[in-house]
Structure 1
Amino acid sequence: MLQRKRLPPSPWGLPLIGHLHLLDRMIHQSLQKLSNKFGDVMFLRLGMVPAVIISSPAMAKEVLKTHDLIFSSRPFVLVGQYVSYNFKGLALASGDHWKNVRKICTTELFTVKRIDSFLWVRVEELCYLISSLAKAPKGVDMREHLTVLTFNITSRILMSKRFFGENLVGEDLTDAKTFKEVMHEVAEIGLQFHIGQFVPDWLRWIDWSIPRVKRIFAKEDKFFEKVITEHKKSGGSRPQPDFTDILLQHYKDEEVVKGTLMEILIAGMDTSACTVEWALLELVHNPEVMKKAQEELDVVVGRNRMVTETDFSKLTYLEAVIKETLRLHPPVPILVPHMSNKACVLAGFDVPKGATTIINFYSISRDPNVWEHPTKFWPERFGQITADVKGQDFELIPFGAGRRMCPGMSLGLKTVHLVLSNLLHSFHWERVPGESYNLDEGVGSVTWPKSPLQAQLTPRLRNLDVIFNFAQ
């Protein structure tokens, strides 16, 4: 048995609950404060579960690269049991099942060729968005528009179906609105700490959040049951099978299909929309940064066409804006937890087998030893450093790194680039008079701005309707 003295530094805990009393609802901020006192590798006891908290690039590299295989498992997460159909999806699964599902996702959905084949979907939904914003009254709620956009993109890629739009009515729209609310609820509670995760199996019934999770699951299952029934009735009549068809071909267990679709839909909808909203909010707060980004767009793209993916490599300042947004406002500030599948040593400390391992990217991304002016929105910093978000630079890992890195990163980045660049290119963005603006964070596993961005938009491009084909 490992000796206490070899565990990482730790605050004083209490019987039974351990250190849970030290954490508030903003878990990433609570962990940051504790790591400032106890170091980059910290030991906590969350109820009856040992946990190791990682808060520096060097230690994140140890976990996600040097000891990647050891930390490739997942701990018990409450929503995984219900929302992911007893861990049958992708993100929260472990072992051979996770490897099999990931292989299908990476070869059938997230390849460069496959992502490029859905460019027309991203562009079409972008055109719908620009058209909607051009017709909207002053004081646009950007969160609602952005989540509809990303939901439609993801649902069309996964199941060949568009659920939201001016001409869409009836039962499908009602179901989609209900399911979109379900996904927001899951994103809110998914990676939050629940008492059922920190007690033995036989005590999980005491968790007061389980009834809510079960209600969410019932609505989710009803939605996916309808999707799968429709796909089976179509009998593969689509010219090209969509991802739901492909999953049904590989798995007789429909729960695997439902769990995988649910996880990809949540990741595809909330994280991309959240990143764009934070970027726009910071640009409204920093008009000089917005001016630079729009001047670059005018030079590279001009005023007579939309921004396309071929422009991205030339839009270096816009890329810096996106990197800075992901650094300062990561949509998921605490990476999906890992778990050690055997004992190992980190920085001279013993990590026991089965320890929940939490990488607090929020601490890393705001570490003054890593970042100059860490709380300032300053895209220019990326003209001086070469850090990228693709999992090789451990000071900037909003998508994680290693074998459990987010497989949808490329699709997410392409969506964020396309949407943000065209929104900045198409409109002048101003505050709505009388509206309160701040940069406070909301509570949830996906960290949205506390208040949805309300913006006043006026067109920058004279022939906006022609460029974005409003008549489609």
Structure 2
Amino acid sequence: MFLSFQLLLFPFILLLLLIPFKWLSSKTHKNPPPSPRKFPIIGNLHQLGSNPPRSLQALSQKHGPLMLLHLGNVPVLVVSSAEAAREIFKTHDLIFSSRPQLSIPYKLTYGFKDIGFAPYGEYWRQVRSIAVLHLLSQKQVQSFRQVREQETILLINTIKESCGSVFDLSELVVSLTNNIICRVALGRTYKEFSFKDLLVRFQQLLGGTSVGSYIPWLSWVDWLCGLDRRTNKVAKEFDEFLEGVIEEHVNKNAGVDSGNDRCQDFVDILLDVQKENTIEFPFQRDTIKGIILDVFIGGTDTTSTSIEWALSELVRHPEVMKELQKEITNIAQGRSMITEDDMREMHYLKAVLKETLRLHPPVPLLIPRESTQYVKLLGYDIEKGTQVMVNAWAIARDLSIWEDPEKFKPERFLESSIDYKGLHFEFLPFGAGRRGCPGIQFSVPINELVLANIVYNYDLALPHEGRPEELDMSEISGLTFHKKSPLLVEATPRL
């Protein structure tokens, strides 16, 4: 009987011996991407530096286009090549379509009730569908054409009043984009509310690093350095503003039937969607706020930043400005303003904007993703729960893809089919795949219209006969790359 017991026990003993061997064997044969050396506790957090896209580019040049960092105890995959980006955005797009649960976006977006930071799932699919079908469709974007043209005319007239003196063109562009987004999304401009400072603080928070998100037991550091307080303050200010906007719309629309005979802004449309209640989740007020917040932040900040960088590059490269003016003048045929109908023929203008987006992508480190399962990527093992940072800024400067990548050369796009719609992974200013920016066709018409009309109507130059190469092109790092110093110029009328 004892012998029988031993025979029965033997397989279990063997199994217990094999399990550690199997575990060690699997660990031994894992092939993670190369990693720089890390410190205890903080990992590689210290290597992000004050300018993460540049810091990560330098690290990737040493360790490779797929690089594994550890921010605290969180594994983060850094992608710095078009080939690797294709794997993330196309081959394994579904696996990498979720978002990490970071504390700052959670507080600022009503617990991920927005589109940009919501984790992948049914809620995200529903709210994105609402935005694409009801807010950002081609028909809807076209319906606001008059708003874009009216605000552009106001900008041109404001510049006219400033001719003969030095003025801040950056400030005027921010005001223009803010007014367009306010009118489209909220129904009117809000001169009584100071958006610029709030937007800057919002973007700085989103682009910053929360220690508690990567080292939970050090969350008190965020409190000690005031990060929690600043985040809560910005969230409260935006919420109070958006709550007032929605209440204003509810009161305005009381007793009014929705229909095609009145011009609706985004808040009106979302309130109608809420009233119809045809979606499969509770469409509450926080969802409306989250969607509007995305439209407002994405539409205002990234658009104004792109226009500012384009104008800065043109001031820095007068020969490019002259070539662009030549194209626009030929198409305008003496008219005082350029319209959106003219854009189809403006190939050099489109090349200038593409080159601007290449050198100055609105979000240089695309919004982080997170893997939802284990996957093999270019021969490396990527574990479930790995965060992914795609360095669009570094990919756009890859010497193996771009000739003279640091130079501003719009001509490189004239004979090229490369576009920014997410099909060319060497050029990702708006991301790609399921989580690519849904607002491309909303922001690009603003960029084209404003840039064409400013350059058509005025010659721009640095103050006091400053040399173009002296223009400060340094940036401030955040979720978006802002120009560190405002674009101060003198304008001379051309017409």
> Which TM-score applies when normalising by structure 1?
0.92
Q: Select the residue among 219, 225, 234 that pairs with 2:243.
A: 225
Q: Distance in 1 between matches of 2:220 and 2:113?
A: 22
Partner residue in 1 for 2:13: none
Distance 1:204 1:89 in 2: 24
Is 1:241 aligned to 2:264, yes or no?
yes
Post-superposition offset of 1:203: 4.8
Q: Percent of pairs identical after alignment?
A: 39
- Tell me, in whole angstroms, the C-alpha distance in 2 between the residues paired with 1:258 and 1:384: 43
1:10 and 1:43 in contact (8 A); partners too: yes
Aligned length: 449
State the 1:156 CA deviation.
1.0
Tell whether the 8 Å contact from 1:196 to 1:204 is kept in structure 2 after alignment. Answer: yes
Q: What is the Cα deviation at residue 248 of structure 1?
A: 2.7
- Take 1:302 and 1:3, find their aligned partners in 2: how far apart are those partners? 70
Determine which structure has more spread, i.e. the larger CA radius of gyration: 2
Among 268, 271, 277, which residue is 2:302 paired with?
A: 271
Q: 1:206 to 1:377 in 2, by over 3 A?
A: same
Q: Against the structure 1 CA distance between its residues 3 and 434, is the aligned structure 2 distance closer, same or farther, given a 3 Å change threshold?
A: farther
1:34 aligns with 2:34: no
State the alpha-carbon separation in 1 of the partners of residues 221 and 270 from structure 2.
Answer: 36
Which residue identity does 1:3 align to in structure 2?
Answer: K
Counterpart Cα distance in 2 of 1:419 and 1:427? 12
- Cα distance in 2 between the residues matched to 1:107 and 1:383: 32
CA contact (8 A) 2:184 2:266 kept: yes
Letter in 1 for 2:27: Q
The corresponding residue for 1:125 is 151
Alignment of 1:152-231 (within 5 A): 152-163=179-190, 173-174=191-192, 176-177=193-194, 179-200=195-216, 203-207=218-222, 208=225, 209-231=227-249
1:281 counterpart (308, 312, 325): 312
Task: State the Cα distance separating 1:307 from its structure 2 match.
Answer: 1.3
8 Å CA contact 2:366, 2:389 repeated in 1: yes
1:78 pairs with 2:96:
no
Q: Does residue 494 of structure 2 align to residue 442 of structure 1?
A: no
Give 5+ residue unaligned stretches, structure 2. Answer: 1-22, 275-282
Once the two structures are overlaid, the 10-residue window that deviates more, 15-24 or 136-145, is: 136-145
Give me the whole-angstrom Cα distance separating, in 2, the residues matched to 1:161 and 1:355.
43
The question of whether the paired residues in 2 share the 8 Å contact of 1:191 and 1:336 is answered with no
Q: Distance in 2 between matches of 1:350 and 1:406?
A: 28
Please give the alpha-carbon distance, in whole angstroms, between the structure 2 residues aligned to 1:257 and 1:203. 34
- Secondary structure at 1:260 match in 2: helix
Contact 1:278–1:329, Cα closer than 8 Å, also in 2: yes
| Residues 42 and 215 in structure 2, CA contact (< 8 A), matched pair in contact too | no
Measure, in 2, the Cα distance between the counterparts of 1:22 and 1:72.
26
Calculate the TM-score normalised by the size of structure 2: 0.88
* SS of residue in 2 equivalent to 1:433: helix
The answer to whether the 8 Å contact 1:52/1:357 transfers is yes
Q: What does 1:284-323 align with in structure 2 at a 5 Å threshold?
A: 284-323=315-354
Distance 1:457 1:77 in 2: 44
Q: Partner of 1:381 in structure 2?
A: 412
Q: Which amino acid in 2 is paired with 1:254?
A: R
| Letter matched to residue 153 of structure 2 | C
Partner of 1:360 in structure 2?
Answer: 391
1:304 and 1:313 mapped to 2: Cα distance? 17
Does residue 101 (structure 1) correspond to residue 127 (structure 2)? The answer is: yes
Structure 1 counterpart of 2:231, one-letter code: V
| Letter of the 2:219 counterpart | R
- Mapped contact 1:182–1:216 kept (Cα < 8 A): yes
Deviation per CA, 1:206-249: give whole Å up to 9, x if none: 31311111111111111111101101111254724322122234
* Structure 1 position 205, deviation (Å): 3.9
Q: Name the CA distance, whole Å, in 2 between partners of 1:448 and 1:408.
A: 20
Q: Is the 8 A contact 2:371 2:383 kept in 1?
A: yes
Q: Deviations over 1:22-56 (max 9, x none)?
A: 11110111110000011111100011111101001
Using the TM superposition, give the Cα deviation of residue 79 of structure 1 relative to its aligned residue in structure 2, in angstroms. Answer: 2.9
Which residue identity lines up with residue 128 of structure 1 in the other structure? L
Query: Any gaps of 5 or more consecutive residues in structure 1?
Result: 164-172, 462-472
Alpha-carbon distance in structure 2 between the residues aligned to 1:77 and 1:416: 31
Structure 1 CA distance, aligned partners of 2:197 and 2:348?
Answer: 35
1:370 to 393, 401, 424: 401
Instruction: Give the match's secondary structure for 1:42.
Output: strand
Query: What corresponds to 1:470 in structure 2?
Result: none
Q: By how many angstroms is 1:187 displaced?
A: 1.5
State the alpha-carbon separation in 1 of the partners of residues 489 and 79 from structure 2: 37
Which shifted more, 383-392 or 220-229? 383-392
Deviations, residues 97-131 of structure 1 (Å, cap 9, x unaligned): 11111000000011111100110010011111111
Shift of 1:250: 3.5
Partner amino acid, structure 1, of 2:481: T
Residue of structure 2 in register with 1:68 after alignment: 93
Deviation of residue 3 (structure 1)? 3.1
In the TM superposition, what is the alpha-carbon distance from 1:434 to its structure 2 partner?
Answer: 7.2
RMSD between aligned residues:
1.6
Q: CA deviation at 1:381?
A: 1.0
Of 415-424 and 140-149, more deviation after overlay is shown by 140-149
Alpha-carbon distance in 2 for matches of 1:86, 1:139: 44
Q: Distance in 2 between matches of 1:78 and 1:429?
A: 43
Q: Distance in 2 between matches of 1:353 and 1:97?
A: 21
